[in-house]
Structure 1
Amino acid sequence: MSLRNRQLEKIMTTTISAFLSALGSEGPPADRAEDMALYGWLIGSWEMDTVHHLDDGTIQNWDGECHFGWVLEGRAIQDIWIRPRRPAPPTMYGTTLRIFDPGIGGWHIIWSDPLNQDYSRQIGRAEGKDIVQIGEDSRGLQARWRFTEITADSFHWIGEERAADSDPWRVTYEHFARRTAC
């Protein structure tokens, strides 16, 4: 490796380390800890089995992984969803930023998958034992994402869509996740 390439590699490593250090946090600030609990239980790493329900009724199955962490001085939770599990080439590689807003008593959810140019903005709240996020995706469809069957070490995530309020919700994706690390 040339001297120039070694210097560039060192700069990139230092920059990434500084960025990740500024982004990450050990936990929520004391004045937000109770509000952050709705999603705080997700912090850690998970493996998942994914089921994709296609319009024609067929089903595709994949494995995957997701990782959740405290960010922005603990005032937000960010995750990364990868399908299939690494080191296989990804078919989905996206991130969600979840920010609690005391003014609305809910969470602003911003999803971005640059690999597929898939984006969504939602509002998330507890509904009974579940967490429900409702908003719109980049195609203009209504999107509802639900965390159900929540335990300390597993959850079932259901993604649904519809074109209008009068239409029924249609399940498009399901993720069955199991914790691998805290």
Structure 2
Amino acid sequence: MTDVLALDSAAQDLLFREARTANTFTDEPVTDEQVQAVYDLVKYAPTSMNMQPLRVVLVRSAEARERLVGLMADGNKEKTAKAPLVAILASDNEFHEELPTQFPHFPQAKDLFFGERPVREAAGSFNAALQIGYFIIGVRAAGLAAGPMTGFDGEAINKEFFGDGEHSVLAVVNIGKPGEDAWYPRSPRLAYDEVVTTV
């Protein structure tokens, strides 16, 4: 079925079939230029009403890395300590302040998001999660491996790295070139017929 897709087979492999969650990395650094190239690619991916709630904190200093590692689950501490780059991915709960007023759906968005905070937070969290998926694919497109994790003390990370009460961490992602024994065995995936129905 690969020939019915617009991407060639090599790109399909790079982004999906051969892409794995990395658990070890080489010492090769990840540059700011690489991260910017990833962001500048994936920022165009679609979200609801073009909202862009994702915020990214690149953890580069030894002091910040130590603070973060202490807030990760035990199984994630060592790989977070050793990855060339770690990114904290969060939803900005005040994302609506960045919506362009000339956006066609701005009046509708204003009614939805400038009022009740729970509605805004739910929309922000969902769309930031979409953006995280795009970000991981962008990392793969850059020839790097990603190790996304959700095992951490989210409340403590919010306080330690944001502190304003307006951000909610959703994932922490280790980024770099895969190292020795980087992959766990491939887990099974549900087949098409187990997922897709037609009505």
Fold conserved (TM > 0.5)?
no
Larger strand fraction of residues: 1
Larger helix fraction of residues: 2
| TM-score of the pair, normalised by structure 1 | 0.24
| TM-score of the pair, normalised by structure 2 | 0.23
Structure ranking higher on relative contact order (CA contacts 8 Å, 6+ apart): 2
